[in-house]
Amino acid sequence: MPTLSPPRTRSNGANPDHPRTPTYSAGGIPHDESDSHALSAIVATILGVLVAILAVFAASMWFDAHNAKSAAERAAAGVTSGGNQSTADMPGMSGSGTAGSMTSYAGAAPSNADALATAHEPFPAAMPAVPAGPIADVKLVLKDVTVEIAPGVKYAAWAWAGGAPGPVIHVRQGQMVKITLTNDGAIPHSVDFHAARVAPDKAFRDVMPGESVSYTFRAKDAGVFMYHCGTKPVLMHIANGMYGAIVVEPRAGVLPKADKNYVLVASEWYLNSDGLKSPAQFDMTKAHARTPDWMTFNGYSGQYVKHPLTAKPGELVRFWVVDAGPSIDTDFHIVGTVLNTAYPFADMNPAHALNNVQTVSVPAGGGGVFDVKIDKPGLYPFVSHAFAAVDQGQVGLLKVGDVKGTMSH
């Protein structure tokens, strides 16, 4: 567990009601001069005009604010009713879940959280091998599953047979990729691969429950790419866990050989309850406000703090990072070192790489690749340096060498 400073009691920064002292008074005008009355009359007239102008401004601002509020309420009502599709009927989406109290459940934890974090089996961050042969045959199964996103915090996800994120897919640049998506969920879903150049209305079409879709694309573009369900409302399908990463390994010789390759998928979670007793569900109001309860690497708060990723001193470690969002960027940073080489936006052309930079943003729906070589043994936290994300769980450790203990950051 990272040291989570749970923002359970959220200060809304309410201002005490200070009565304002008037900033002008009748004083200051000489009163023993013969034209003092005329001057007073002029000043009074000017003040009167100013007050009138201010009154008009105030009225128009009230109308604007009122209209904006009405528009927001209409938008919220439209979302809650889901247009012609009632989200209240969907599994993992109760009607009450959209009421949106905006109560934060960040940092909620049972008393045995530490033991649960230790017992948790971390999502495998180590990049799998490339499938042999000319075609990478990728079979994906979508499923409604209850996942754990933090110690003791359960969430009714729409995700993959193995939870969220989906499996890491690793292919070679130029390889054909055959995707077969089977929908074992209760409602239509689809899968959109950012690495593909295909007609989305065909390849990424909705798949009915119990059915499958298959399509192929050639992985022409190297990098690390997001894949996700693209069925409406996309915000909800992504936030519910329907995302993953595909690494398209550049052709041999383009990059220096890495000793370790780790894949991290950053994402945020919006909960309608703390998820401790029964699984939490998606909260659309919080998702629209972009106020997550939890933010994670590979779907579980701080899992690589308890179970660090490892490297030997001097090894080249390559992080392939996707930010699944759905809405918040990840500002990738490793405490105690500098990123030797960064491939922003996962543009793998070495001529475009950055050298020796501290923090690189990975946009929602985008990727980034980061090489580090660390000589000194120690525990090096990797974080999104937008630090609310760390408090909400987007933190892990890279353990370099044979060192003991843990470190919170």
Return the number of the residue (231 or 273) whose C-beta is nearest Cu ion: 231
- Decide whether 243 or 304 has the Cβ nearer to Cu ion: 243
Question: Terminal CA-to-CA distance of the chain, rounded, Å?
Answer: 10
User: CB of 340: closest distance to Cu ion in angstroms?
Assistant: 38
Q: Within 179-208, which residues bind Cu ion (CB under 5 A)?
A: 189
Query: How far is it between the farthest Cα atoms of the chain?
Result: 103
Task: Work out how close the CB of 272 gets to Cu ion at its nearest, in angstroms, rounded to a whole number.
Answer: 18
Residues 250 and 267: their CA atoms lie apart, in Å, by: 25
User: At a CB cut-off of 8 Å and minimum separation 6, what does 119 contact?
Assistant: none
State the nearest-atom distance from the C-beta of 273 to Cu ion, in Å: 22
Torsion (CA) 26, 29, 30, 36 in degrees, nearest 10: -100
Instruction: Return the residue of 143, 154, 237, 318 that touches Cu ion, per CB under 5 A.
Output: 237
Shortest distance in whole angstroms from residue 231 CB to Cu ion: 4
Instruction: Give the binding-site size for Cu ion (rule: CB under 5 A).
Output: 5
Least distance CB 172 / Cu ion (angstroms): 28
242 scored as a contact of Cu ion (CB under 5 A): yes
Residue 288 C-beta: closest distance to Cu ion, Å: 18
Distance CA 75, CA 63 (A): 18
189/286 with CB nearer Cu ion: 189
Taking residue 115's Cβ as centre, other Cβ atoms within 10 Å add up to 12
What tokens were used for 294?
Answer: 């939890």
Residue owning tokens 């890491």: 168
Amino acid at the residue 109 = A
Residue nearest to Cu ion (CB): 229
- Give the nearer residue to Cu ion in terms of CB position, either 169 or 229: 229
Tell the smallest beta-carbon distance from residue 295 to Cu ion (Å). 21
DSSP string, 204-218: T--B-TT-EEEEEEE
Please, what is the minimum distance in Å from the beta carbon of residue 65 to Cu ion?
37
Q: 168 with 244: CB under 8 angstroms?
A: yes
Residues from 340 through 359 that contact Cu ion (CB under 5 A): none
Asked if 266 and 322 touch (Cβ cutoff 8 Å), the reply is yes
Residue 333 in contact with Cu ion, rule: CB under 5 A: no
Nearest to 7 by CA among 121, 103, 146: 103
Residue 327 interacts with Cu ion (CB under 5 A): yes or no: no
Contact by Cβ (8 Å): 1, 114: yes
- Our CB check for Cu ion shows the closer of 189 and 194 to be 189
Q: Are 332 and 362 in contact (CB under 8 A)?
A: yes
Per the CB < 8 A criterion, the answer to whether 180 and 139 are in contact is: yes
- Is 145 one of the binding residues for Cu ion (CB under 5 A)? no
Please identify, using beta-carbon distances, which residue of 242 and 400 lies nearer to Cu ion: 242
Cα separation values, 381 from 311, 361, 408, Å? 13, 17, 8
Q: Closer to Cu ion by CB, 229 or 346: give it.
A: 229
Provide, rounded to whole angstroms, the least separation between the CB of residue 330 and Cu ion: 22
Q: Which of residues 216-235 bind Cu ion (CB under 5 A)?
A: 229, 231
Closer to Cu ion at the Cβ: 158 or 343?
A: 158
- The interface with Cu ion within residues 284-303 (CB under 5 A) comprises none
Q: Could you give the CA distance from residue 90 to residue 144 in angstroms, rounded to a whole number?
A: 11
Stretch that binds Cu ion, among 98-106, 131-139, 238-246, 387-395 (CB under 5 A): 238-246
**Chain positions contacting Cu ion, by CB under 5 A:** 189, 229, 231, 237, 242
